[in-house]
Amino acid sequence: MSAIDSAVSTAPVIATAGIRKSFGGVEVLKGVDLEARSGSVLALLGENGAGKSTLVKIIAGDYRPSAGSVVIDGEAHHVLTPIESRAAGIAMIAQEFNDAPTLTVAENICLGRLPQKRGVVQWREMNLLAQEILESLEAEIDPKANVSSLAVGERQIVEIARALSSEARVLILDEPTAALSQHEADVLFEQVRRMRDQGKAIIYITHRLDEVFELSDRVQVLRDGDVALVADTHAVDRSQLVAAMVGRYDIVTGRPNDAAGDRGEVALRWREASSHGRFSDISLEVCRGEVVALYGKLGSGALEVGRSAFGLEPIHSGEIEVAGERVELSSPVDAVIRGIGFLSEDRKVGGAFASRPVGENVAVASWPQLATRGLLTSDTEQKAFERWYDRLSIRSKGRASQPMEELSGGNQQKVLVARWLERGAEALVLLEPTRGVDVGARADLYKVLRELAAEGAAILIVTSDHEEVVAVADRAYVAAKGRITTELPGEDITMSLLLTLAGG
């Protein structure tokens, strides 16, 4: 019996019945029914704000529903605590890291289940167990290393390893590949298939439609807190899923690659630049009026090259030029002074002030120009925000006063772009700009980047998402093992070629 046939014939291990949830009077789930079946992968889709993460957090016991119930083995639970959820065999890999940074990798993987003998933790056994799980994921991570020392992608692997070690019968994965390389994602997919074949029920949240068709047996789409579609995956196509998510078919990802405008003067240039242990002999340039992609998997050195433009990675040989002038970028201050704006691959720790108002997030980099007697007033912040609200199509119900953390991922990215435009940046370096951003918001952000380039901005996106490169780049460089292997004009960029050149 195939996985799909098995899924169709098997009663749900876990379900939700009429789940409703409101925050501050705003209803974000409007009576959602969902079924997760043994031996089946359910892909859960929807734009940011559709209610996906809220729904699975209710299943995990992190949120209490306003109405409805979670049904486990036929028994309805109107209130479910995290402890009860775990006891029922439910494990979740959340979109936000839920690790303990000061503990080791092994301690994080075995957290709550530390092997003990007569009350004494068996450290050697714990490290061996963690090593075995990491090896199953083909991850070269030291179990004894502190999690705080790991890169974003490595922390994601540790989160996955912890969930796999729990031997749960229901596994919820919320954007698990957002920080993974293609190879790491492929290994994860094999683990998911193995768990499915063992009879586990899997709920898989993703914005990447290729993952839906590669991995899932069934698909459910949420839109504005309602169920927009439920189907067997083989019975739907890409355009139907997009239409269900956004309510329309006409999603435009970016300007066609062969329609690149005229390139202006070189705004950013690396000349045979090297950083010890990070990258070697990097030569690339970004001109005004174009979007250039630097594509590479985790560990390729691509992210480190991007960080060097903002003074976050030292250059030990070679040079970086800004507007034709050789510069020393030893700190972000040096980069900002020279008109470079920067978005980190992790906006929550590298730029966004989550609890602060959107207006403050826009104005903060322009404090010297906007402050009155050393202070930024709310009126000044509002004016700064309004200058970019329509221009960048920022969606913020509370306008400038809304806390940053209440915006979707795509709108948070637009706010961070607005921050640098308000500052007067003429070159933007964006690391993984659409990580965790849904298909509709991606299209909006790509449109903004294309418009900025058309007005003369120089834009470098550093990404491990091959679809992103195809969608928006005029030119692309491919990085592997700390070096640039190829430069591609827009008309030569294809997903298969990018994967091949990047080593996968």
pLDDT score of 262 = 65
- 16 vs 56: CA distance, rounded Å: 10
54 contacts 205 by C-beta, under 8 angstroms:
no
Q: How many CB atoms lie within 10 A of CB 330?
A: 12
- 134 vs 157: CA distance, rounded Å: 8
Tell me phi and psi for residue 138, to 5 degrees: 55, 40
Residue 453, pLDDT > 70, answer: yes
Residue 253, pLDDT > 70, answer: no
Phi-psi region of 177 (alpha: psi -120 to 50; beta: other; left: phi over 0): alpha
pLDDT score of 248 = 53
Tell me the mean pLDDT in the region 36-41. 94
Residue 439, pLDDT > 80, answer: no
pLDDT score of 2 = 43
Q: Is 395 helix (H, G, I), strand (E, B) or coil?
A: coil
pLDDT score of 224 = 85
The amino acid that residue 368 corresponds to is P
Q: For 73-127, list the strands marked E by DSSP.
A: 75-77, 90-93, 116-117, 120-121
Tell me the mean pLDDT in the region 140-167. 84
User: Which residues make beta-bridge pairs with 430?
Assistant: 343, 461
251 contacts 439 by C-beta, under 8 angstroms:
yes
Q: Which residue has the higher pLDDT, 90 or 378?
A: 90
pLDDT score of 5 = 45
pLDDT winner (highest mean) among 188-202, 284-298, 390-404:
284-298
Tell me the mean pLDDT in the region 228-243. 91
Question: Please, is 416 exposed, middle or buried when counting C-beta atoms within 10 Å of its C-beta (0-12, 13-18, 19+)?
Answer: buried
Residue 269, pLDDT > 60, answer: yes
User: Which residues make beta-bridge pairs with 14?
Assistant: 36, 72
Tell me the mean pLDDT in the region 78-98. 86
Tell me the mean pLDDT in the region 439-463. 89
Q: Kindly give the interhelix angle for 152-165 and 182-197, rounded to the nearest 10 degrees.
A: 10
CA angle 27, 30, 32 (to 5 degrees): 140
Q: Which residue has the higher pLDDT, 447 or 3?
A: 447
pLDDT over 70 for what percent of the chain? 94
173 contacts 202 by C-beta, under 8 angstroms:
yes
pLDDT score of 251 = 45
Question: pLDDT tens across 324-356, in order?
Answer: 999 999 999 999 999 999 998 877 666 788 888
The amino acid that residue 373 corresponds to is R
The helix (H) or strand (E) run that includes residue 135 is helix 123-136
- 132 vs 116: CA distance, rounded Å: 18
Tell me the mean pLDDT in the region 10-26. 87
437 contacts 207 by C-beta, under 8 angstroms:
yes
pLDDT score of 197 = 92
Residue 495, pLDDT > 80, answer: no
Would you place residue 398 in the very low, low, confident or very high pLDDT band (cuts 50, 70, 90)? confident
Comparing CA positions, the residue from 333, 342, 302 lying closest to residue 469 is 302
Tell me the mean pLDDT in the region 229-236. 95
Tell me the mean pLDDT in the region 184-200. 86
Tell me phi and psi for residue 489, to 5 degrees: -70, 160
Question: pLDDT tens across 106-153, in order?
Answer: 999 988 778 888 888 888 999 999 999 898 888 889 999 998 888 777
Tell me the mean pLDDT in the region 207-228. 91
Residue 174, pLDDT > 70, answer: yes
Q: Is 105 helix (H, G, I), strand (E, B) or coil?
A: helix
pLDDT score of 256 = 47
pLDDT winner (highest mean) among 137-141, 317-321, 415-419:
317-321
- 283 vs 493: CA distance, rounded Å: 19
pTM as predicted = 0.61
Mean pLDDT of the chain: 86
- 68 vs 50: CA distance, rounded Å: 18
Radius of gyration of the chain (CA): 23
pLDDT over 90 for what percent of the chain? 42
217 contacts 232 by C-beta, under 8 angstroms:
yes
Which two structure tokens, joined as six digits, stand for 205? 């949240």
pLDDT score of 8 = 43
- 247 vs 309: CA distance, rounded Å: 39
| Domains in the chain, CATH or no CATH each | 3-246 (3.40.50.300), 251-339+426-504 (3.40.50.300), 347-425 (no CATH)
